[in-house]
Structure 1
């Protein structure tokens, strides 16, 4: 059974998507980017076929007030929470 808009991904395939997203974050935020952390089932190696990717993006300053997001990229749900330096 395939969920609406989602595709099956292996742990290795998720790892590749995370690397691609990390590159895009570095390009988008430049020196504003401090670090990217991965959390959830992927980190524990408990991710299943339709598991999402959960990221925490540490930045000096948030680009916008409501920038936290989730999206479906290439059939996988990606959630990102932005945390700003204090």
Structure 2
């Protein structure tokens, strides 16, 4: 994930979801902004991942057990 200051910098990525052929058609252009991560055909999936990833990142940074969140993220990736 990336905030504006991170765009085109190391470690930045942007999540995409929706029709896979559309993503593949424009992936090279999108990659100029940040690494791309396609998460599935459901158009709302990328929007769902973002807050979950932020919550997981904070949990890990704060030293909390994140097993439940990790498992949820894994299940979402499989769908």
Asked if these proteins are the same fold (TM beyond 0.5), I'd say no
Relative contact order, higher structure (CA 8 A, sep 6+): 1
Structure having the higher strand fraction is 1
Structure having the higher helix fraction is 2
